[in-house]
């Protein structure tokens, strides 16, 4: 029984508690057995008291034997307890070893996982390195071909540089000849510049002379017109302009010449024709006819703005002068509307003064 218990205790599993229970059960059975035997002995002794000394002796012998057996069982239990303590200590040490081995196994598994990840990273790096190596080899072959081509180009370039050097030498010689020619040309230019300056002075004197002639004819023109129109207060001279009030020539908001205005313009045209006959052809003169209105908006279906009315009036005067024999190429009609007032105030007198036709004898 002890051997079977030992075998049960020596198993791979933790059977210390069942073994201990088995030991106690065995001890209890032994005690019960002893008690049973003791009871039986008492029973038999009770029946055999009447003179069975031998039976008593046998019983005593049996009791002694049972005591020996009990001692043996006690010794076995003591050994069993010692074995149980040793097994408990071994089990505790085995559990500690198992925990240590479990921790070591976990560490080993973690290291194995890390090593696996490192191995995968190293594998990827190796694959990438191999791809880069292939790419570098391809680039090397391409670079080698390009280097060969560059060497050929360099050789051609060196030949071209030698040719260019020869060309530069030739160009330098040509440049020297050109610089000499340029110096000679600059000398001629300086002489020509002096001639041009002299011609400019002559031209300025000629133009000044023509301007003086035109000024003289303008003075004569204004002087004769002043004599012809001296009795008209609505015709005046302001600076270099001869000014007709619009009321003398046109009715309000109209561009059609009135009879009185035609008479005055006829005298004006006759005087202009007489003076123009004396002006030389080389004097490029022109008579500019400027139409002006006041600033009040026009209310007329024929003209949308004062600008249109002023231009129409200037054109009417030019057409009349052409009919009176003034060359059309010597006339110009312009309309200023209300944008060139002589008097900017908002009065009836200012409006009347600003409504006018101006004549100006000038150059083209």
pLDDT at 302 exceeding the cut of 80: yes
pLDDT given for residue 338 in this prediction = 95
Q: Convert 165-181 to b/e letters by CB count within 10 Å (16 or more is b).
A: eeeeeeeeeeeeeeeee
pLDDT category at 1 given cuts 50, 70, 90 is very low
How far, in Å, are 79, 208, 218, 283, 345 from residue 212 at the CA level? 160, 6, 9, 10, 37
Q: Kindly state the tokens that stand for 59.
A: 């019983």
pLDDT given for residue 150 in this prediction = 77
- Nearest-angstrom CA–CA distance, 122 and 130: 12
Question: In whole angstroms, what separates CA 171 from the centre of its chain?
Answer: 49
pLDDT given for residue 306 in this prediction = 95
Mean pLDDT of 52-61: 70
What is the value of pTM for the model shown?
0.42
DSSP secondary structure, 183-225, as one string: HHHHHHHHHHHHHHHHHHHHHHHHHHHHHHHHHHHHHHHHHHH
- Nearest-angstrom CA–CA distance, 176 and 167: 14
C-alpha gyration radius of the chain: 73
Mean pLDDT for all residues in the chain:
79
Q: Between helices 16-48 and 2-9, what is the axis angle to 10°?
A: 170
pLDDT at 214 exceeding the cut of 60: no
Q: Kindly state the tokens that stand for 305.
A: 């703005």
pLDDT given for residue 358 in this prediction = 95
Kindly state which CATH superfamily the domain 229-363 is placed in. Answer: OmpA-like domain (3.30.1330.60)
pLDDT at 230 exceeding the cut of 80: no
Mean pLDDT of 157-169: 78
For the ranges 27-36, 160-169, 346-355, which has the lowest average pLDDT? 160-169
pLDDT tens column, 97-156? 888 888 888 887 888 888 788 888 888 887 887 888 788 778 878 877 877 887 788 788
Domain boundaries in the chain?
A: 2-116, 229-363
Using DSSP's 3-state secondary structure scheme, residue 292 falls into strand
Question: In whole angstroms, what separates CA 135 from the centre of its chain?
Answer: 35
Mean pLDDT of 285-295: 94
Pairing of strands 356-363, 285-292: antiparallel
Question: In whole angstroms, what separates CA 360 from the centre of its chain?
Answer: 61
DSSP 15: -
Q: Between helices 2-9 and 53-228, what is the axis angle to 10°?
A: 10
pLDDT category at 89 given cuts 50, 70, 90 is confident
DSSP secondary structure, 100-127, as one string: HHHHHHHHHHHHHHHHHHHHHHHHHHHH
More confident residue, 284 or 358: 358
pLDDT at 356 exceeding the cut of 90: yes
pLDDT given for residue 337 in this prediction = 96
Phi, psi dihedrals of residue 298, rounded to the nearest 5°? -85, 140
More confident residue, 290 or 186: 290
Q: Kindly state the tokens that stand for 255.
A: 């561009």
52, burial (CB in 10 Å: exposed 0-12, middle 13-18, buried 19+) = middle
Tell me which long-range contacts 22-31 makes (C-beta under 8 A, separation of at least 24). 23/77, 23/80, 23/81, 23/84, 26/1, 27/73, 27/77, 30/70, 30/73
Using DSSP's 3-state secondary structure scheme, residue 232 falls into coil
Q: Convert 142-157 to b/e letters by CB count within 10 Å (16 or more is b).
A: eeeeeeeeeeeeeeee
85-99, 129-143, 226-240, 295-309 — which one is most confidently predicted on average? 295-309
């Amino acid at each position: 029984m002890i051997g079977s218990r030992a075998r049960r205790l020596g198993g791979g599993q933790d059977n210390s508690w069942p073994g201990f229970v088995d030991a106690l059960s065995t001890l209890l059975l032994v005690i019960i057995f002893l008690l049973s035997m003791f009871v039986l002995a008492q029973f038999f002794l009770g029946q055999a008291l009447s003179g069975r000394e031998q039976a008593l002796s046998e019983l005593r012998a049996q009791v002694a034997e049972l005591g020996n057996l009990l001692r043996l069982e006690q010794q076995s239990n003591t050994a069993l307890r010692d074995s149980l303590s040793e097994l408990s200590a071994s089990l505790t040490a085995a559990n500690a070893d198992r925990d240590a081995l479990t921790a070591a196994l976990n560490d080993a598994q973690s290291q194995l996982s890390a090593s696996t990840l490192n191995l995968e990273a190293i594998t990827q790096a190796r694959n990438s390195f191999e791809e880069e190596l292939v790419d570098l080899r391809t680039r090397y072959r391409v670079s080698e071909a390009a280097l060969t081509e560059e060497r050929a180009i360099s050789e051609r370039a060196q030949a071209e540089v030698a040719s260019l050097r020869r060309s530069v030498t030739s160009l330098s010689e040509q440049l020297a000849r050109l610089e000499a020619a340029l110096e000679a040309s600059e000398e001629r230019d300086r002489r020509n510049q002096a001639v041009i300056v002299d011609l400019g002075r002559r031209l300025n004197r000629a133009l000044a002379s023509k301007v003086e002639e035109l000024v003289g004819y303008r003075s004569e023109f204004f002087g004769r017109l002043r004599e012809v129109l001296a009795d008209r207060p609505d015709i005046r001279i302001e600076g270099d302009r001869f000014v007709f009030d619009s009321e003398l020539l046109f009715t309000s908001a109209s561009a059609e010449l009135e009879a009185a205005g035609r008479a005055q313009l006829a005298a004006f045209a006759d005087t202009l024709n007489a003076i123009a006959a004396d002006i030389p052809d080389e004097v490029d003169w022109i008579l500019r006819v400027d139409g002006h209105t006041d600033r009040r908006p026009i209310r007329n279906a024929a003209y949308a703005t004062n600008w249109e009315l002023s231009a129409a009036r200037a054109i009417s005067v030019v057409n009349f002068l052409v009919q009176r024999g003034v060359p059309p190429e010597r006339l110009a009609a312009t309309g200023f509307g209300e944008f060139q007032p002589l008097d900017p105030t908002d009065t009836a007198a200012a409006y009347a003064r600003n409504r006018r036709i101006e004549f100006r004898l000038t150059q083209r």
